[in-house]
Amino acid sequence: MQHSVVRVGEWLVTPSVNQISRQGRQITLEPRLIDLLMYFAHHPDEVLSRDNIIDNVWMRTIVTNHVVTQSISELRKSLRDGDEQSPEYIVTVPKRGYKLTATVVWPDETEAVAPVAAPASGHLTPAPVAAPPLINTPRSKSGKASIGTWILFLLSLSALAAMILLSVIHHQPTVTKSRLLLNPRDIDVRFDGGNSCNNWVSQKSYAIGLGGLITTSLNTFSTYMVHDKTNYSVNEPSSSGKTLTISFVNQRHYRAQQCFMSVLLVDNADGSTMLDKRYFVTDINQIAIQDDLFNSLSVVLTQPWPEKMQAQLAQFHIAQASSLAHLYEARQLAFGGDIQSLNKASALLDTIIKTSPEFAYAYEGKVLVDVLRQSQQTFGQQQMTTLAEELTKLEQIPGIQQTSVFYKTQTIYLLGKGDVDGAFNAVNKSIELEMSWLNYVLLGKVYEMKGQNRLAADAYLTAFNLRPGENTLYWIENGIFQTSVDKIVPYLKVFLAKN
């Protein structure tokens, strides 16, 4: 039987409302953290491996050791409740897993617990004494018990017959419906092209680029976990509590057909609309739209953007506003990963640099793409000289060493030279600055070069979880060097086969 409450150490856990409480203090946890705590409560003093926790708590969802570690860290923080001197409820057992050390007390359902009332005098009132049975009672106590037993037997037999009859009449098997718990701090970003518009290629790249920027920015600077599903066509149940959909819709306005970009944020818990905005995209207002969208998200998600994030968004404020859409178009090409797409992306970024030389993102992207090109095809002497000049100029850009793209470029370049330790340091600095799918693909490549295939699999799964889709899979299999998904990360292959 499922218990409604359980006591873990000093905390009373009520999973039905996702709360833990002690001494009048109540804390509401995310559903996944409650599930995690309840799983530990069912296995006190047992060492639970990460794989065991993933299989029993996350079940069908693709997660990695990194996600488990982060969740346990958040759970520990909640149980500590600001008291750094409080005992550790969940301890780490090196190279084995985690263990709940607190006492677990489950309610005993075989006992009826009722407090005894005390009168005003403070003395306990004795319970009334039952009267002895009358001498002339026609049947003994054993006779009554026997009759009661037969009555219960007949009732049970009747109930069984009724169930058999119903099963014959309604012969269809019962369908078991499982409810999927939604994580309120997770957001899916989706793109729905809808009807075609003028300048469709440019506007589509702009919309998908906005989705990618939202994903990376919120994952890096907010308390939300965002999954970029703009390249993911599988229609599967999602545990994300919110969905942000970017689409294009045609409307007739004053006899002229107008194409608007729609941005809709829905709370999946109750189907309510949190944000519904429509923008008429032109070559001169793309930066203003991006600023307005991020300001609106800050309000509805109650997330004040930190200064570092605001400073990064300010770098998009360039004189030639159309360069922003071209930047996103170049990124879309680069995400393809093949040499033809990379060559086109490099040429487009070179054009952007000529029209908007102050646009640092364009130059950083150009160097990154050229390093990727060099990793996939042999450069001639002139190309290598040009690439060396680009790398030197990149290092001279003010503040460049505080950006993730600088360390991404270093990681790829160092891997190409066989400097695995240098690449490992560079990619970890990049991850500190930005939580993106490409960073975790590169981390997986580094772990492969180090011969640590299990850690490589964790990194690849994290990359696919952040941005599921064919492009990310292509990067895992072919980026920098080829990776055997069957050998390194078979779980991803099985997951994709089921969908």
Quick one: pLDDT at residue 258?
65
Residue 493 or residue 89, greater confidence: 89
Residue 378 or residue 215, greater confidence: 215
User: Average pLDDT for residues 192-219, to the nearest whole number?
Assistant: 82
- Quote the Cα angle for 107-108-112, to 5°: 110
Side-chain half-sphere of 159: how many Cα atoms within 13 Å? 6
Quick one: pLDDT at residue 112?
39
User: Average pLDDT for residues 313-319, to the nearest whole number?
Assistant: 88
Q: Can you tell me which residue has the tokens 């189907």?
A: 271
Quick one: pLDDT at residue 301?
93
> Model confidence at 173, in pLDDT bands (50, 70, 90)?
very low
User: Average pLDDT for residues 323-350, to the nearest whole number?
Assistant: 90
Q: Which of 13-17, 254-258, 364-368 is the most confident on average?
A: 364-368
Q: Is pLDDT at 150 greater than 80 in this prediction?
A: no
Q: Are 445 and 478 in contact (CB under 8 A)?
A: no
Q: Are 48 and 93 in contact (CB under 8 A)?
A: no
What's the length of the chain? 499
Q: Is pLDDT at 119 greater than 50 in this prediction?
A: no
| Domain annotation covers residue 1 | no
Residue 250 or residue 381, greater confidence: 381
Clarify whether residues 80 and 190 are in a common domain.
no
**Cα separation, 37 vs 72, whole angstroms:** 9
- End-of-domain residue from the set 283, 317, 351: 317
Task: Give 414-459 pLDDT, tens digit per residue.
Answer: 998 889 999 999 999 999 999 999 999 999 999 999 999 989 999 9
| Domain annotation covers residue 309 | yes
Q: Is pLDDT at 317 greater than 80 in this prediction?
A: yes
Quick one: pLDDT at residue 174?
45
**Cα separation, 483 vs 428, whole angstroms:** 20
Q: What is the pTM of this model?
A: 0.66
Quick one: pLDDT at residue 266?
95
Clarify whether residues 66 and 190 are in a common domain.
no
Q: Are 212 and 466 in contact (CB under 8 A)?
A: no
Q: Which of 112-116, 340-344, 400-404 is the most confident on average?
A: 340-344
Q: Is pLDDT at 470 greater than 70 in this prediction?
A: yes
Q: Express as a percent the part of the chain with pLDDT over 90.
A: 34
User: Average pLDDT for residues 206-226, to the nearest whole number?
Assistant: 92
Clarify whether residues 83 and 199 are in a common domain.
no
* Domain of residue 93, residue span: 6-105
Quick one: pLDDT at residue 148?
63
User: Average pLDDT for residues 142-167, to the nearest whole number?
Assistant: 61
Q: Are 457 and 491 in contact (CB under 8 A)?
A: yes
- Quote the Cα angle for 465-470-476, to 5°: 70
| Domain annotation covers residue 209 | yes
Clarify whether residues 208 and 306 are in a common domain.
yes
Q: Specify the CATH number for the domain of residue 53.
A: 1.10.10.10
| Domain annotation covers residue 430 | no
Q: Are 238 and 184 in contact (CB under 8 A)?
A: no
For 239, list phi and psi in degrees, rounded to 5. -95, 0
Clarify whether residues 190 and 79 are in a common domain.
no
Q: Specify the CATH number for the domain of residue 207.
A: 3.40.50.11830
Q: Are 292 and 300 in contact (CB under 8 A)?
A: no
Q: Express as a percent the part of the chain with pLDDT over 70.
A: 79
Q: Is pLDDT at 385 greater than 50 in this prediction?
A: yes
Residue 162 or residue 396, greater confidence: 396
| Domain annotation covers residue 252 | yes
> Model confidence at 145, in pLDDT bands (50, 70, 90)?
low
- End-of-domain residue from the set 81, 105, 129: 105
The two structure tokens encoding residue 390: 């680009």
Clarify whether residues 82 and 194 are in a common domain.
no
**Cα separation, 144 vs 147, whole angstroms:** 5
Angle between helices 404-417 and 381-395 (to 10 degrees): 140
> Model confidence at 376, in pLDDT bands (50, 70, 90)?
confident
Helix (H), strand (E) at residue 41: helix 31-42
Task: Give 14-52 pLDDT, tens digit per residue.
Answer: 888 888 888 878 888 877 888 899 999 999 889 998 888
Clarify whether residues 208 and 308 are in a common domain.
yes
Alpha-carbon distances of 175 from 163, 172, 178, 235, 257, rounded to whole Å:
17, 9, 10, 21, 48
Q: Is pLDDT at 190 greater than 90 in this prediction?
A: yes
Residue 444 or residue 182, greater confidence: 444
Quick one: pLDDT at residue 111?
41
Number of structural domains (the chain) is 2
| Domain annotation covers residue 71 | yes
- End-of-domain residue from the set 264, 295, 317: 317
Q: Are 295 and 311 in contact (CB under 8 A)?
A: no
Of 99-103, 169-173, 218-222, 263-267, the one with minimum mean pLDDT is 169-173
What is the three-class DSSP state of 425? helix
What value does the mean pLDDT of the chain take?
81
Q: Is pLDDT at 379 greater than 90 in this prediction?
A: no
User: Average pLDDT for residues 143-165, to the nearest whole number?
Assistant: 63
| Domain annotation covers residue 308 | yes
Task: Give 46-71 pLDDT, tens digit per residue.
Answer: 999 888 888 888 765 656 677 788 78
| Domain annotation covers residue 452 | no
User: Average pLDDT for residues 71-89, to the nearest whole number?
Assistant: 80
Quick one: pLDDT at residue 26?
84
